Structure 1
């Protein structure tokens, strides 16, 4: 593993990994986990070659199994882009969980997801094994040898004279028995309906086939550029920076030092907001809202609670609620 460079005033906590460099390799000993602040990390295993098991993004964590099990690294971690990660040593892990319940919840969900995927994979392998067994050829059945080979009977040409009946009968009796293969019989012509039935069918009106118009395409949200989140109670505005692909909504995390792009912490008098509460995602001209894993008090769009991890489109005029904080998406 290449040398990791530290940076900033928290140089003992953060590491930088240039694109293409390994954070750690499969089989290495490890006593720390990492939380991705920026960049992306690919998880690789030797048995899979260059195909990654997963690609982790900002907010994801890795290396926790080395802390929980005190075992060598299960896989390698390689930076796909220049990445900055928070390093958490084993000695500080328990204190981190006590101070940040969201991280504990996310670790449990990640472990549950791994177990569910493993169970699904085992079921698929068992089904494939059953299909292989069902499709295997049956053992060969022994066949008794034929009593005598079938001999060809010479056929006299058409112009040859007809032989006497008695010699022919005698020769037939002495010849071996031949298998007679019947010629295929042509299929009978299709039955034609009677003239009366045909006339009635011709006189009947043709059935009317209803024409169903395709459903109208749902209205798409307008362009995501030139938007802001407006807190109605205070009038505070949070402008969505043009050109940025995603915006984390939440509050400052004192443990990791991460400040979200939309910091609603000063407005959260009821302390209902999670540190990594939700994300606004810009995809081309569209804007989507997604609740992050570990959010405790819910994310709402026009009064409807969102399912965790599900990205839903939003447009100007929509009412968003993060915990107890009411926000309106407005066009600039």
Structure 2
């Protein structure tokens, strides 16, 4: 995974010939310094310009090395793609310089060079094969995927008290007055159902989106102790707006009761009573 990302030249994640990468987009870490920890909220991915990075995971109190990455490798992309908490620790194995890629910049890079997306797909295809191999070693070749999913579902259940707190909160489509109640979990996905992948967002706006202005995976509403925020997904085409202001891709923007939220061409209002 080292042929695409370079600090000079015309590859993605690079600058134009003869130009330096802006300092505000690069971060430096001394050897042994933690870049991020498992559980941290991630909104950026990183490309290694200099040095090495260890990806580690703590299991039952013991630290396990998952991989060692060096110049040209990338990591932390799930933070950009899913806005999800970090799944492992990233530690500088030696003094290193990293290029930080926000959601909006990642979106731009994908549009200019689809090879980035291909590399990420290949990376996760390899991980899937490795996971399948591990499952076969642990449980034998005859595995029931549906049974595995059923066993995982209780672990993802939300406590009744937290579920009830958010059950009244909703986004209301202004033309019809139709309410879309937010998920009791910490995030609510917004978009259009995708029959090809089978992915269905929590709030499916397909019925109201005759012009298909809403992307399949358009945005999320994030819930935290401090309130709600809207974040636009990478790859969204027609924009996401809060009170008529377009929000940047990958950056959470707070939303309060009564705020207007526009998804593509669909006008919604936040009702957090």
TM-score (structure 1 length as normaliser): 0.36
Larger relative contact order (Cα-Cα within 8 Å, sequence gap ≥ 6): 2
TM-score (structure 2 length as normaliser): 0.43
Q: Greater strand share, 1 or 2?
A: 2
